[in-house]
Amino acid sequence: MIQKKTGRALATTALALLLSAGVVAMQPQDAKAEPQRGGTVQLAVTPEPPSLMLGLFQNGPTQMIAGDIYESLLRYDTDLTPQPSLAESWEISDDQLVYTFKLREGVLWHDGEPFTADDVIFSLDVFLREVHPRWRPTVNAQVASIEKTGDYEVTITLNEPFEPIMLSFEVGTTPMIPRHIYEGTDYRANPMNATPIGTGPMKFVEWDSGSYVHLERNEDYYLEGRPYIDEVYYRFIPDAASRAVAFETGTIDVLTGGSVEIFDVPRLEQQDNVCVTTAGWEMFSPHAWVALNVREGALAEKSFRQAMMHAIDRDFARDVVWSGFGTVANSPISSRTLFHSTDLPEYAFDPDRARELIAESSYDGETIDFLVLPYGETWTRWAEATRQNLEDVGINMNLVTTDVAGWSERVGSFNFQMTHNFLYQYGDPALGVSRSYVSSNIVQGNPFSNVMGYANEEVDRLFAEAANAASEDRPALYQRVQEILVDELPVLWMIEMDFPTVYRCDLQDFITTAIGVNDTFRDAWLQQ
């Protein structure tokens, strides 16, 4: 027997409540307003992406722009409930092994070719299996077969139940790639990479290097009347202060998350017709922490790490450094995703307790280097505040600055003692959390692997078991793993970050999904 499954409605209701609490200022929208056609929207994106070919590049800016050119099988509500996109409907077998996707008929690629099941097979089984850093491990480890079971039907069979696969069909992880353009070619050398062809609501027009990317309305889009906006420009302005000025003077309509310095947000928000939202990052739920190289010295000692956690004033970081944006993090799993446990011990800001723990540890006054994350001013200020917190309890700290390449190189080769870092959670611990703590991911060359060198067999086992467990067994396993990690502190969790998007309130239905401004222009329209 086969049951229709569209989401975990009950389980996610509580999550939706939490998320709405995180929304700082959503302009009340007139629910009855009828969408209007027309208009041009200018967005600031930073930095300029290396390419718009979303299958080959997954940089943040690439996703923000190409997320409207390409589409995947599904979209996700802000509570991570799957919604139809190129797949009209889907069915999951009772044993949670067979996923059948019914595709929408009559969809055309931007060059006029029809989109069929062959394109899905090519994308998932051939192209992305070869090149995509997140889809590749999932498809290789979990998927037994991907088959065409009709011109507009695709069936994916798993080796074992793997619930998180339903979160893999967003446009950044599995963008649909046109088979007629890429099959049998050298993907990276394909000249069509410069003029991406997708099925999305927006078509690529022009990329004026160093200046802007221009997209226009896809006249043949399969949803009647959509998209509503005629033209979109993504502009590249290198300096954060200039971007804020461009917004204030009206050159730019949207400052995408990350392109505005957090401390400018309250000032911009006070102006007329300016809306700020922190929604649209639910799939990513960026989790910021201080990574500790736990291989040697005092940092290898649990009690010393616990002392540091008590010494760092995370409320101060949230309220002052991050201008009140974000939520203090208490666990490896973000409270904005599933499986976050609220039943965990908390490390309160308590310098006295920190001094006691340090006295008990073997720390004897050696200087500890803190590598500053070179992502702009806010991170530098945060490093300075963290250093002061730790010096206040008697830990000698030394800040070390470097550039982005130097940071990646040093952290990726484990040549650091402490540094800030933030990672995306991708909606499920099996996709975005376990990678930071399992010992099999202590690999050189990637600053987002288990660079701490943390190894615990119990943690490895629990994460592996939880990934393939039946839905009802997973919460208990993740509860246990959170308890261990919160006690051992391989990293010091700081803040569940908010990346506010600042935009003109005339833009309606602007952020409606869990991947932010990446796939916004299917629904967005301009109040005129």
User: Which residues in this chain contact other proteins in the complex, by CB under 8 A?
Assistant: 240-241, 261, 263-264, 267, 316, 320-321, 372, 377, 380-381, 383-385, 387-388, 391-392, 398-403
Q: Are 370 and 417 in contact (CB under 8 A)?
A: yes
Which is nearer to other proteins, 283 or 368 (by Cβ)? Answer: 368
Q: Residue 74, Cβ neighbours under 10 Å: how many?
A: 21
In the complex, the smallest distance separating the C-beta of residue 387 from other proteins, rounded to whole angstroms, is 7
In the complex, the smallest distance separating the C-beta of residue 359 from other proteins, rounded to whole angstroms, is 22
Which is nearer to other proteins, 31 or 405 (by Cβ)? Answer: 405
In the complex, the smallest distance separating the C-beta of residue 212 from other proteins, rounded to whole angstroms, is 24
In the complex, the smallest distance separating the C-beta of residue 12 from other proteins, rounded to whole angstroms, is 38
Which is nearer to other proteins, 91 or 261 (by Cβ)? Answer: 261
In the complex, the smallest distance separating the C-beta of residue 416 from other proteins, rounded to whole angstroms, is 13
Taking CA atoms, 233 is separated from 229, 411, 467, in Å, by 11, 35, 40
% helix, strand, coil for the chain, step of 5: 35, 20, 45
In the complex, the smallest distance separating the C-beta of residue 419 from other proteins, rounded to whole angstroms, is 13
Q: Are 350 and 289 in contact (CB under 8 A)?
A: no
Q: Are 416 and 386 in contact (CB under 8 A)?
A: no
For 335-428, where are the alpha helices, taking DSSP H only?
Answer: 351-360, 377-392, 404-412
Tell me how far apart the alpha carbons of residues 519 and 74 are, in angstroms, rounded to a whole number: 11
Q: DSSP secondary-structure letter at 478?
A: H
Instruction: Give the three-state DSSP class for 391.
Output: helix
Which is nearer to other proteins, 71 or 313 (by Cβ)? Answer: 313
Which is nearer to other proteins, 374 or 475 (by Cβ)? Answer: 374
In the complex, the smallest distance separating the C-beta of residue 242 from other proteins, rounded to whole angstroms, is 11
Interstrand relation of 397-400 and 368-371 (parallel, antiparallel or unpaired): parallel
Tell me how far apart the alpha carbons of residues 74 and 63 are, in angstroms, rounded to a whole number: 16
In the complex, the smallest distance separating the C-beta of residue 25 from other proteins, rounded to whole angstroms, is 19
Which is nearer to other proteins, 273 or 388 (by Cβ)? Answer: 388
Tell me how far apart the alpha carbons of residues 384 and 202 are, in angstroms, rounded to a whole number: 43
In the complex, the smallest distance separating the C-beta of residue 407 from other proteins, rounded to whole angstroms, is 12
Tokens representing residue 250 in the block: 């009206």
Residues whose CB is less than 8 angstroms from the CB of residue 62 and which lie 6 or more positions away in sequence, other chains included:
49, 50, 51, 52, 53, 54
Q: What is the DSSP string of 342-360?
A: S-S------HHHHHHHHHH
Which is nearer to other proteins, 94 or 391 (by Cβ)? Answer: 391
Which is nearer to other proteins, 76 or 322 (by Cβ)? Answer: 322
In the complex, the smallest distance separating the C-beta of residue 463 from other proteins, rounded to whole angstroms, is 36
Which is nearer to other proteins, 321 or 395 (by Cβ)? Answer: 321
CA nearest to 135, candidates 30, 55, 201, 69: 55
The 143-150 sheet, strands edge to edge: 2-4, 87-93, 98-103, 153-158, 143-150
In the complex, the smallest distance separating the C-beta of residue 370 from other proteins, rounded to whole angstroms, is 9
- Identity (one letter) of the amino acid at 387? R
φ, ψ of residue 456 in degrees (nearest 5): -150, 115
Which is nearer to other proteins, 326 or 427 (by Cβ)? Answer: 326
Tell me how far apart the alpha carbons of residues 174 and 58 are, in angstroms, rounded to a whole number: 11
Which is nearer to other proteins, 86 or 255 (by Cβ)? Answer: 255
Q: Are 515 and 280 in contact (CB under 8 A)?
A: yes
Q: Are 46 and 243 in contact (CB under 8 A)?
A: yes
Q: Residue 296, Cβ neighbours under 10 Å: how many?
A: 9
Which is nearer to other proteins, 159 or 398 (by Cβ)? Answer: 398
In the complex, the smallest distance separating the C-beta of residue 323 from other proteins, rounded to whole angstroms, is 10
Q: Can you state the angle between helices 457-467 and 474-488, rounded to 10 degrees?
A: 150
